[in-house]
């Protein structure tokens, strides 16, 4: 499985639960690391992930799906999140 970063820019005061549910339908290996940002493992490509998530957006909201290379650096994350990133990135 490949690793993808999903970033959504939602309308002000909009809860991200609808897109979060759509993401959880795509993968059992998801990690939400900031508001409206997730890292997931998925067998498909970025375009297919994007196509599955667009219906969860409202008009004017933005969505980006990027494939990750397996390299990363971070600070300030909880130990359990650090572990998840090391295992799945």
Kindly report whether the global pTM for this prediction surpasses the value 0.75.
yes
Please give the Cα distance from 21 to 15 (Å, whole number).
11
| Residue with the larger pLDDT of the pair 88 and 64 | 64
Count the helix, strand and coil residues of the chain and give each as a percent rounded to the nearest 5.
35, 30, 35
Beta strand pairing call for 62-67 and 2-9? antiparallel
- pLDDT tens by residue, 30-62: 999 888 999 999 999 999 999 999 999 999 999
């Amino acid at each position: 499985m490949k690793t993808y970063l999903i970033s959504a820019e939602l309308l002000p005061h909009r809860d991200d639960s609808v897109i979060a549910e759509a993401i959880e339908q795509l993968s059992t290996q998801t990690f939400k690391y900031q508001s409206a940002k997730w890292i997931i493992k998925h067998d498909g490509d970025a375009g297919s992930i994007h196509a599955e998530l667009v219906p969860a957006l409202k008009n004017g909201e933005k969505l980006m799906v990027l494939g990750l290379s397996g390299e990363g650096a971070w600070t300030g994350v909880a130990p359990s999140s650090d572990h998840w990133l090391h295992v799945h990135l």
